[in-house]
A and B are shown apart, each in its own frame.
Chain A
């Protein structure tokens, strides 16, 4: 499967896998059950460059390519999807838009601590009344002298409970509709910035997903990212990149579900033979393996196109749609192969099943991705 990868990509897989097996695997179940964010491991990951994967060396990052980045997220998620989520969101929809749209001064200020994992990033778009319809957000950031005064109620913020540097989507011109939305960076600790209760989620429980409320929160005007009115453009660009990360995450979960299923099917005996010898089980394993490989090709293609500087919107949407859909399917089949044990917390497939489900929802639902792909297909691009 790694035939198409460079030696560097393979080295990335080996090193990330070794780290995750040694440091995350032993606690993956507990952090899920306890809904605990494992700082002790995250700090080590920070030292290894996982929080600034594509940030250049000059800004304290690892300076890697998109394929290596996707492999990193796939491998972390293979062991703990919740930690994979933290890394993906931090890199793809916080650090990347700052790199892409930030001024030199902004980059120097915000990126090095993010890349070194001294600070954690978040992307705050979703509101109680605005999810897929991003243009429907109600948050405002009104200019007042040298500041913006932000009022926002952001929900389901990945990394929300621990985020230091947050990209807030808000209306700087409430009358201008889609064109009135901007991105302002708000930092934890600013007066009026309050982190809400952590969400009690079905999966991804080790990620501190929370609401973030900003009430008359005053930030310097220089915290505006890009120009006023560019909010949706920045958001969509960030989400294009983020989709590769989430697709890689879904792929990692599916890979883990496949591996556990193969292991279990070879060891579990029924009717006198290992269940892998029963055709109905081996057929499921064949389907799972094929789906996982197909998803992997789509994910790496999207990342490869991004590395080539080519348009990757459609490819990323396809990768995200397909990988997240098959991740749920494969995790579901893994539970089925494990029978009653698959429904028990004694086996990890139960966790994969819960974790996989949300990949079809966040960073663009499957429905939105089908819209993006269909539009692209009909335009002939």
Chain B
């Protein structure tokens, strides 16, 4: 029996010209942390059979990311797109994704990237797992089937933890779990010629506008500023020998060498 895997992906913003945070197809790309999740899912499908479904919530500008998932090999792609979703925080996003996943029905594995390249909260995967009442393992690097159960390896700091789990389960995938595949031309051709991104709106997933969007979000970003890193230059003077000795001392003091 094959594994049916749903991979939740996000189209992230790579550029905000003039400080404007608006999503267009030109300034959005598939979240680089979702690529390992997709790749991992595709490798599991190759090993076990089954299907890979890509799911995203976002505006129309998210479509290219879903096509990219299909060009990588995903069987189908869904976009949850509704103007009432604008302003959703991570909790409202998780609530919406849970409803969409419930609508897609039977699955064995629910994958997320470990985090996103634009907001970097890492919250959506764990929150969705809670919402769907699923066991959750984060930062997963390996899945192996053994004696009817699935053994999942999680990399945490310098340790590898191994869990035995029953399906269905939600997992967030470690960014270095797999070497991400390049997208080939045949994949792109097939995604655009043979496949379509299917759209859902709130009504389709049985939610009302009050559940999501700004109203449904307990948190709200009220300002967005670029973080400025303070850098201080120290000029070493004196003879070359003195400069070298001072440099050594500075490096040792800062703990860079010992």
Contact = CB atoms under 8 A, between A and B. Distances in A.
A64 B185 contact: yes
B161 to A, nearest CB: 31
B64 A62 contact: no
A62 B192 contact: no
Nearest to A50: B185
Nearest to B26: A2
Contacts of A57: 186, 189
Q: Which among A50, A53, A62 has the highest number of chain B CB atoms within 10 Å?
A: A62
A7 to B, nearest CB: 6
A50 B188 CA distance: 12
Contact of B182 (A2, A10, A18, A61): A18
Q: Which among A2, A15, A57, A68 has the highest number of chain B CB atoms within 10 Å?
A: A15
How many interface residues does chain A have, given as a range? 20 to 34
A185 to B, nearest CB: 25
Interface in B58-86: 63-64, 67-68, 71
A20 to B, nearest CB: 10
Nearest to B182: A19
Interface residues of B, number: 17
Contact of B192 (A8, A14, A53): A8
A292 B191 CA distance: 30
A36 interface: no
B184 interface: yes
Contacts of B71: 11, 15
Interface in B148-194: 182-186, 188-189, 191-192
A68 B67 CA distance: 16
Contacts of A53: 185
A45 to B, nearest CB: 9
Interface string A1-39: 010001110111011001100100000000000000000
Given A10-B64, A11-B67, A11-B68, A62 B185 contact: yes
A180 interface: no
24 contacts: A8-B188, A8-B189, A11-B64, A11-B71, A11-B183, A11-B192, A15-B182, A15-B183, A15-B184, A15-B185, A18-B182, A19-B182, A22-B182, A48-B183, A48-B184, A48-B185, A49-B184, A49-B185, A50-B185, A57-B186, A57-B189, A62-B189, A64-B188, A68-B185
Given A48-B183, A64-B189, 17 more contacts: A6-B192, A8-B192, A10-B25, A10-B64, A11-B67, A12-B185, A12-B188, A15-B68, A15-B184, A19-B182, A47-B184, A48-B185, A50-B185, A53-B185, A61-B186, A68-B188, A68-B189
